[in-house]
Structure 1
């Protein structure tokens, strides 16, 4: 730690220089600013720099380097894994930087580092344009994209990281750079899945696609009907065009327009099928599901932005989740998945999710190359007394799928689960190359409060 007088002088200078806000323990607003979505995480950074723009980010990085303090970067999202906040370090908080600028003629959008998925979707909607975004409207765009980005439009348009046209970063020495296929090309390559290891992403430029129509089918099944419903969903995905995608969720039914009142509070297998197109054609695609006995049904054209917010992560509760990529979805795995899902440990926020993947190009450090499906068991609960019980269910669900997993993971959906899981989420075949990029742009590993790539 630096001498107290030095630290006090540097903090005073940072407060004076920042256009945004600087918070330290004892300041009004400090406790609210350090809080993340996951109530299990309670960390107390020495300084929170709530940056108003790239110049503020440069000042905050230089401040941290001067005092040799660890840095955590808080993007716009809920930070369920808790990597946007640390103890006794500096948090560079981008949540004031949420501007989204659409360039319809170029079919591109510039998104600041603190913007949420809902900010992106609302900005592009008036133009009939969209890009692959997170399934949770409160997820931060920058973290989602740079972590790989699996979303509802990925089968039609590709994973979110494939839409990255350019990134504006502040690197560990306080330099503002722009990375594209022509400027800092090796850094640009590494950002396709390498996350926040190389600097603070102050803005991303993403490719957009025309999305004049979007429709969704939401079909509720009783838990015992889950295996038949998932097999039918598998058929819909396998025989439909790439514009057809979706998700299966086992969850406790909430008061929603598509859930009858007598089902609220009971376990439900919900099949969500999305289509980049009109509702009439979607009805034809989902006929195998419609022919099965089901307890609720909605099939309609809905704005993509509205669908995005249907199953958002509840904040302020306790969370533990993980993910696994799967080579296939055979009948045996369907039965194993449904059996574990029917044992959801806590009524309420716990859910078990299954979705199809789009292939990722081998040129980038994305580990999903051999994966066709993903599963994500997520525990959400309120009582600290359940802190042991619920994570056990999550890890048992992960163990269930071991015979079919690729060994890779979706790094954004994995918390602090050890070095092996980091390697699995960053594509082991590319790790040496990523480490060389890390050495060039962050040789001292300033940005290490993440799924960390160690510099060579």
Structure 2
């Protein structure tokens, strides 16, 4: 049965409002405009209603209602997905923003995380115990969408992806039923939740493994853009052999007005090394020296800091309400020809806020079996994210065109797939985030757990 068939001509919204503990917002209601907005300011969609869920029971109630009236459902956790999967025109948004509690069991080293939590909520609860798990590169990212898309981050090479640390998930299905998925129960669903990019159910609670992580050796070193070819080649050579405790990235960016950087360089294009070492600091200093010790940098900010402090370092570079368009490419190598392509496009963007991020994988990410979860890119040595970003809506078309042309230039050098958490187009998440076998398996799971397709928001744009 298709969405919309057999739908009553008038939806009794008051019945849903009366059944919820949290408020139900309709267009024109106070806070509707605020709640419909997501992190990416380009996304301007108007749901039919927003159910501000107070707890998992509210999620069950709202999902059951949507099934009865054949109404598409979207789920807002942190609202940080660049393609705006949290909101869709004329759908029912389940807003989990009031469900952010994190309960930590330090002896068992697990955290029980409500579906609306952000990574800063998790860090605040786990760090007093000297514990952490892999979270986003910025702390304002929501746990839910990030985990369902795989979950790369500063701890991934030592601790694995977010999906590798997920022990079980409490899930509300589209018809309102609630169940617990794990390796022992509903294992097929559990496989799909770990990297399948959503569309299987609403996770109201994640139970995740924690690791001993207190302080980390971390930093950022800015170089003139002229140093970029050398740094990229060294990054290519050093990172595949690096110990698992090191996660690093190179960022082509514009020099920000930070106190450790010379005023004369502010606004110029540069390349920055950012790194996080979660092992013994002395070994980390030796390991990162071939990259961090190169040449005459414009400036550096490094040291031993609490992991939660480092996790917030890049939050100012991703403010809510700006206009974003991203793309991502998976790479087998950073050969010299590819390096030339990367730099030619990254050096002259249409807005100084645009960036290029070059990452490496390996370590615990690659050590897990490729079929253990739905995440499709474990064996990829490198990936790049092209971050189209502007604070001015009038510049957005040029930023989007630049990002798309960058992707076209990278295509001859890249694998076909994309990481769903960095895909700017919903169509890419549906068609290019997984291989043929995984795609078929996910389609079968969606047909079983959401036969009406109410949760597959991207299918309708």
TM over 0.5: yes
Counterpart in the other structure of 2:356: 352
In 2: Cα distance, 1:435 partner to 1:77 partner = 24
C-alpha deviations, 1:311-351, integer Å up to 9, x for none?
A: 2322211111110111122232222212221112201x211
Measure how far apart 1:170 and its partner are.
Answer: 0.5
Task: Return closer, same or farther for 1:208/1:273 CA change in 2, 3 Å cut-off.
Answer: same
- Secondary structure of the structure 2 residue equivalent to 1:324: strand
How far apart in 2 are the matches of 1:321 and 1:170? 30
Tell me which residue corresponds to 2:377: 368
What is the rounded CA distance, in whole Å, between the counterparts of 1:217 and 1:282 in structure 2? 11
CA deviation vs aligned residue, 1:264-319 (integer Å, no higher than 9, x gap): 22222111121012443322122223132211112200111111222232221111
The residue that corresponds to 1:445 in the other structure is 453
Matched pairs, number: 447
2:260 and 2:299 in contact (8 A); partners too: yes
Cα distance in structure 2, aligned partners of 1:384 and 1:298:
32
Map residues 282-301 of structure 1 onto 2, 5 A cutoff: 282-289=284-291, 290-301=293-304
Structure 1 contact 366–427 (Cα < 8 Å) conserved: no
- Structure 2 residue 417 is matched with structure 1 residue 408: yes
Aligned 8 A contact 1:249 1:352 in 2:
yes
User: In terms of mean alpha carbon deviation, does 329-338 or 11-20 score higher?
Assistant: 329-338
> Could you say which residue in structure 2 is the equivalent of 1:159?
161
Task: Say if 2:326 is the partner of 1:317.
Answer: no
SS in 2 for 1:195: coil
Q: 1:417: how far off? A: 4.7
Deviations, residues 376-415 of structure 1 (Å, cap 9, x unaligned): 1111113333232111211122122223312111011113
- Which blocks of at least 5 consecutive residues in structure 1 are unaligned? none
2:204 is aligned to: 202
Deviation at 1:421, TM superposition (A): 5.2
> Cα gap change, 1:257/1:309 in structure 2, threshold over 3 Å: closer, same or farther?
farther
Is the Cα–Cα contact under 8 Å of residues 77 and 114 in structure 1 kept in the other structure?
no
Partner of 1:425: 433
Q: Which runs of 5+ in 2 are unaligned?
A: none
Q: Which residues in structure 2 correspond to 1:127-146 (within 5 Å)?
A: 127-146=129-148
In terms of mean alpha carbon deviation, does 283-292 or 87-96 score higher? 283-292
Counterparts of 2:87 and 2:338 in 1: how far apart (Å)?
37
Where do 1:54-453 residues align within 5 Å?
54-289=56-291, 290-312=293-315, 313-347=318-352, 349-358=353-362, 359=366, 361-363=369-371, 364-418=373-427, 422-450=430-458
- Find the aligned partners of 1:260 and 1:18 in 2 and give their Cα distance: 55
Aligned 8 A contact 1:97 1:113 in 2: yes
Structure 2 CA distance for partners of 1:3 and 1:434, relative to 1, 3 Å:
closer
Root-mean-square deviation (CA, aligned residues, Å) is: 1.8
1:154-185: CA deviation from partner (whole Å, max 9, x where unpaired) = 11111111111000110011101100111111
Deviation of the 1:236 alpha carbon: 3.4
Superimposed CA distance per residue, residues 98-137 of structure 1 (whole angstroms, 9 cap, x where no aligned partner): 0111111111111110001111112111111111111021
State the TM-score, normalized to the length of structure 1.
0.94
Match of 1:16 in 2: 18
State the Cα distance separating 1:451 from its structure 2 match: 7.3
Contact 2:214 2:307 in 1 (8 A): no
